[in-house]
Chains A and B, each alone.
Chain A
Amino acid sequence: MIGDSESVKGFGAVGFDLFICDDIQNSAAVLKQITEDDYYAIIFMTEEIFQQTAKEREKFAEMLTPAMIPLPGTRGNAGIGTQRLSSFVEKAVGSDILFKN
């Protein structure tokens, strides 16, 4: 789990490894360090970090693991997760037929 210290601290209790990244500019480096040895199959990250690391995540998109999943942090839900879903639908179908409001 990557995120700012406020958002991630609870996840340590349920057994996640925490990578605290309070400086959002630093997120790419943190992600790179985590993905280097291919140890983690699932990487959760806060939405801010998820957005910041779009370029770094690109090459993992077609790979089986790691799965990189955005979760809302303590700063509220920016709807990145749902946006991501509708982008999948858009990619597959050609237009977003499911979540368009």
Chain B
Amino acid sequence: MDIMNVNPTRMQMTKLKKQLVTAKRGHKMLKDKRDELMRQFIELVQENKKLRDKVEAELAACNAHFVNAGAVMSKKALDSSLMSSKQQTGVEVASKNIMSVDVPMFETVSKSEDEGDIFPYGFAFTSFELDDAVSSLGALLPDLIKLAEIEKSCELMAAEIERTRRRVNSLEHVMIPRYEDTIKYIAMKLEENDRSSRTRLMKVKDMLLEKAHHYSEKE
């Protein structure tokens, strides 16, 4: 039995009982928090998985396009076509609170005038493969940003869930049993004291009566 090092007094017991109530309430709330976080996390992580599979598949396709473009064009021409970009992509960061976890929200801000105009080169001297590659990458951009947002959220939530879980477990398996055991120990100790003082009183009463009336001599 794991008990705290406390004096077995009534006052201490009342204090511990109050603490136990608080601990139980905290445990319940943390457990609710953990369950809700977990539910949201699982949803998010499934979405994350889907999005990642999609992004990876499309990126592979993009890369294939680039490789093809590289095969048709000279490396130098390819590099110089891609060197100067018309687009300037920025992200605005906001944050959202999911169950006390701050997660980021990214919003793309295109700094160029025409968002559709993503080709940083003239069409005359480049292969159509390069057009495909750049346009599919451009189409993938919102997904990439979304992926970053969701994946960071998952990372932060996983950390928070781990912390909450540890706290729930420590309350459930360590703190609460310890409080209960200590309260039980004090209650038993108090009862024991009670009994011992009662028998002592009875004994003293017997002795006093014996002194006053001398029962044993009269028999």
- Residues of A in contact with B, size category: 35 or more
Contacts of A84 in B (CB 8 A): 151
13 contacts across the A-B interface (CB closer than 8 A): A9-B66, A10-B82, A14-B141, A15-B118, A15-B141, A62-B159, A67-B155, A71-B56, A73-B63, A81-B52, A91-B161, A93-B38, A98-B49
In the bound complex, do residue A10 and residue B134 qualify as a contact, i.e. CB atoms below 8 Å apart?
Answer: yes
In the bound complex, do residue A88 and residue B45 qualify as a contact, i.e. CB atoms below 8 Å apart?
Answer: yes
* CB within 8 Å: A-B pair count: 131
Q: Is B31 an interface residue (CB 8 A)?
A: no
- Among the interface residues A14, A62, A64, which one has the most CB atoms of the partner chain B within 10 A? A14
Given contacts A15-B88, A44-B144, contact A82 B42 (CB under 8 A): no
Contacts of B104 in A (CB 8 A): 41, 64-65, 67
Binding site for A on B (CB under 8 A): 38, 41-42, 45-46, 48-49, 52, 55-56, 59-60, 62-63, 66-67, 78-79, 82-83, 85, 87-89, 91, 93, 95, 102-104, 106, 110-112, 118-120, 133-134, 137-138, 141, 144-145, 147-149, 151-152, 154-159, 161-162, 165
Q: Is A34 an interface residue (CB 8 A)?
A: no
